[in-house]
Chain A
């Protein structure tokens, strides 16, 4: 019963994050939305770890945090590099990498 609540909350957080990525045009907001999705996943890991008395979930949560940090670092670096030469901050403007 408890677990179902956690799953519901995680689902909501995840979709807020996904919507943020799709809807917002500010790269910083997009990165933050991605963090939201990571955390939704983390929440699930912890919830199920608790429900099933299995510590693997905790370990994975730490792994996810690490990976998320790395991803954020790279993402921010790209954002800084790309927008150093531009006046505004809009991902739709950056569409030169196409077929």
Chain B
């Protein structure tokens, strides 16, 4: 059952790449059906059904072990939903290639999120870096960004692999995700450091973030929406399912550092987002800020904070995916990403403005939408864990978030219309359908968040 999640998008993606069929509609509907199946399947199976097969016995035990439950189920659903929406929103000339890459990305990350073996996790980690790399190479304005992305993230992946190998050799098995036995010893802090650096690069966490703004700005909208929504969660997922259960002692040793880095990320990202002029970079830096909050939650070792982190992982995925898709629509209409040259879009595009408003409000943590739930539960946990000052400082970026998100929103859709451009058509049905599921999910999880923790 689980294997279908990986095999189906892999198969469909490879076929799309290899077959000469080049009809945009055909590839889009194929992609959508595949993504929809991967969304419905885990729901129908209700988290049961796993797969396990022997792989290695020396130098340490490893197996092809996949399962979906708990955190991974939410990430699998988020991934499937975001992929579905991204494929639906794919509207470029080379749609077939993009959709194929999106499906391959989905396959690799499905593997990552369902793997129960750390070695498998590390392998899928490296594979998932390839689709965005090729997207950057083929669509990005600069090849440099692609190489920068891949080298930076592969360096992290290499450390992850080393740490995994050390972990496997010292503990005898890597088939451990889902169990809880503490790993201690002289090597534990080093193994944790290896994992942590890889995760921190991918998240990203200050100061390992400089690959991110250019990558997010240069990737085409469908790809960046999945990358920022789901791939950036791979590191956080790793912290939750690998570091927290097995390396907690080492984690506690390092926690002061990571709490500090998380706070710096929070403030630093928010301050930069306040003054950026490229709309995609504003959201990129806001991601740095928002994900810092999740890192803070994880390193407080408080059950409530971790629950909040899971809620916020889902919420951030939903609103950043929709924001990037919407920014793609804006860019397509206005042919610029510079905030100084945008304005008044709401007059001719009321639907686009409405969708943008909901996404931006979710991002700034409006009560009633999913982002708020994550923020308040995380910080309640952080405070309860005794971190008085971090909880207080973490409130500042929330205020800043409202400032930069409103700047982004208002300077795009409000104000006098930009006269130089002809009137643009409003959202088409297809474009609307591509963001609607994300926005509805933001509402539902904001009003009734208890379902996340069930």
Direct contact of A and B (CB under 8 A): no
A residues near B (Cβ < 8 Å) are none
Q: List the interface of chain B (C-beta within 8 A of A).
A: none
